[in-house]
């Protein structure tokens, strides 16, 4: 606060105006254990040159995904991105554009968003999509809030196959809204009886396919059970490429579909920025959060594009708004749309088949490794294995040998007693040599 010019008496006047005695009252909703009790113990400031040297040294400790056999997934996937994608998104008219509030000067941006929405609706098998969310996890939380508005109920059931980070975001948002969340135990083999948990108070069920452990799930029966109880099914995905091979969530009866679009057009980027995909039924469109780009005609009948049905808090009274999402992942959505356009339907299906074929090759290679168990009966390009020993330690050993061998489940679900599990992703970028290197590194690390 030392950089603010207000005097102590001015601060007291402001606090009195809003009816609180101390500034700490403004942060009462933050759990006490999450607040700092003292300033951070940070080193003194350094010169620009010194900071550059320090940051370069820290960055040098990372193993670049491009430099070694890479099998990390769990919601962030390494795919080949054509050079044309990065070239096009760096054009100044795209790179510097922001909010298309003035349609007369933002027709290019609005048309891109309209095309993006069309692609997402077709991929998910839904009738309408928005112009992107921040990422898959926050999009999932928004989907739960949307289901509450539609059903006028406040209870969400989370599948044990939902990505733990997505589940945690839902629980955080629901805690602040005082909504009920029922989180089912981790479901390693997709055998949970989620239908038995649905009751008359249930607003929605949130289920993922392929799930976090890689299992491909048929959500049709869950959708039917939800509808029989007046609830909605929210279908989640983290790997967009899977939609090129699997039955769409819309075809399985989902009411809201949400997921992560990073796989198409967007590099790993140390975890962000990413792009959330969000689609739903036409009848629910007025409760859909975020932006919606629509097609129209101008005064002389020429085709044009506008933001429409703007039910965000920037446009209407806050208490009537569907969400406080104030922007969209515009540049990431553009990268997604360009890459998807380059692929086309045939290209996406070919890419999906290649991903699955490579994963099958890897599963066959790992089947020959002693003391290793494959948990999945079905998978797309990701699956879970049980290893001999501590999975996190094995991952570190493999990394020291130049192989990034997956994600230990203990990193996603600490304390769940799943310390011997590793989730492995195999995309189109992996070669036979990479797969052989992983199998050898795993065998060596378990000795």
pLDDT at 317: 72
CATH 3.90.1150.10 in the chain, residue ranges: 344-445
CATH architecture label of 83-339: 3-Layer(aba) Sandwich (3.40)
Sheet holding 421-425, edge to edge: 373-374, 382-386, 421-425, 407-408
- 235 Cβ contact partners less than 8 Å away, ≥ 6 residues apart: 124, 207, 208, 209, 219, 249, 252, 254, 256, 257, 258
Divide the 447 residues of the chain into consecutive groups of 10 and give the mean pLDDT of each group.
78 94 89 85 91 94 91 97 96 83 88 97 98 95 97 98 98 94 98 98 98 98 98 98 98 98 96 95 94 93 90 67 78 97 98 98 97 97 97 97 97 97 98 97 95
pLDDT at 1: 46
Contact (Cβ atoms closer than 8 angstroms) between residue 42 and residue 51 = no
- Joined together, the tokens standing for residue 135 give 């990422």
pLDDT at 93: 86
Domain 344-445 fold: 3.90.1150
- The total of other beta-carbon atoms located within 10 Å of residue 374's CB is 15
- The total of other beta-carbon atoms located within 10 Å of residue 338's CB is 24
- The total of other beta-carbon atoms located within 10 Å of residue 265's CB is 27
CATH 3.40.640.10 in the chain, residue ranges: 83-339
Number of alpha helices (DSSP H) and beta strands (DSSP E) in the chain: 12, 13
**Rounded distance, CA 385 to CA 405, Å?**
11
- Joined together, the tokens standing for residue 277 give 């995909």
């Amino acid at each position: 606060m030392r950089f603010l010019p207000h005097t102590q008496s001015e601060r007291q006047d402001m606090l009195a105006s809003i009816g609180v005695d101390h500034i700490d009252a403004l942060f009462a909703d933050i759990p006490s254990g999450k607040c700092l009790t003292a300033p951070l113990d940070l080193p003194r400031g350094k010169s620009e040159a010194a900071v550059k040297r320090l940051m370069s040294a820290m960055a040098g400790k990372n193993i670049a995904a491009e430099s070694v056999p890479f099998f990390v997934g769990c919601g962030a996937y390494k795919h080949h991105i054509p050079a044309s994608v990065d070239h096009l998104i760096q054009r100044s008219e795209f790179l510097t554009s922001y909010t298309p509030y003035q349609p007369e000067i933002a027709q290019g941006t609005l048309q891109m968003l309209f095309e993006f929405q069309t692609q997402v609706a077709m991929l998910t098998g839904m009738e309408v999509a928005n112009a992107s969310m921040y990422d898959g996890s926050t999009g999932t939380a928004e989907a739960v809030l949307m289901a509450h508005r539609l059903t006028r109920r406040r209870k969400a059931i989370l599948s044990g196959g939902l990505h733990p980070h997505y589940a945690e975001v839902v629980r955080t948002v629901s805690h602040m809204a005082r909504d009920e969340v029922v989180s089912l135990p981790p479901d390693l083999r997709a055998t949970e009886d989620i239908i038995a948990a649905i009751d008359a108070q249930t607003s929605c069920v949130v289920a993922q396919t392929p799930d976090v452990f890689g299992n491909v799930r048929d959500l049709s029966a869950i959708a039917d059970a939800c509808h029989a109880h007046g609830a909605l099914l929210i279908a989640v995905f983290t790997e967009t490429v899977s939609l090129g091979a699997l039955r769409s969530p819309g075809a399985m009866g989902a009411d809201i579909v949400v997921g992560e679009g990073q796989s198409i057009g967007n590099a790993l980027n140390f975890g962000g920025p990413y792009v959330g995909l969000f689609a739903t039924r036409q009848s629910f469109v007025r409760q859909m959060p975020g932006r919606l780009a629509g097609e129209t005609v101008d005064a002389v009948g020429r085709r044009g594009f506008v933001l429409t049905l703007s039910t965000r808090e920037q446009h209407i009274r806050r208490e009537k708004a569907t969400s406080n999402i104030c922007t969209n992942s515009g540049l990431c959505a553009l990268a997604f749309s360009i890459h998807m356009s380059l692929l086309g339907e045939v290209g996406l299906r070919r890419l999906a088949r290649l991903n699955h074929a490579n994963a099958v090759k890897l599963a066959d290679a790992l089947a020959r490794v002693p003391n290793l168990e494959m948990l999945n009966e079905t998978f797309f390009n990701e699956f879970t294995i049980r290893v001999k020993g501590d999975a996190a330690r094995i991952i570190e050993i493999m990394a020291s040998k130049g192989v990034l061998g997956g994600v230990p489940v203990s990193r996603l679900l600490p304390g769940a007693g799943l310390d011997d599990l590793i989730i492995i992703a195999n995309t189109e970028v992996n070669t036979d040599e990479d797969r052989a290197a992983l199998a050898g590194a795993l065998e060596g690390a378990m000795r």
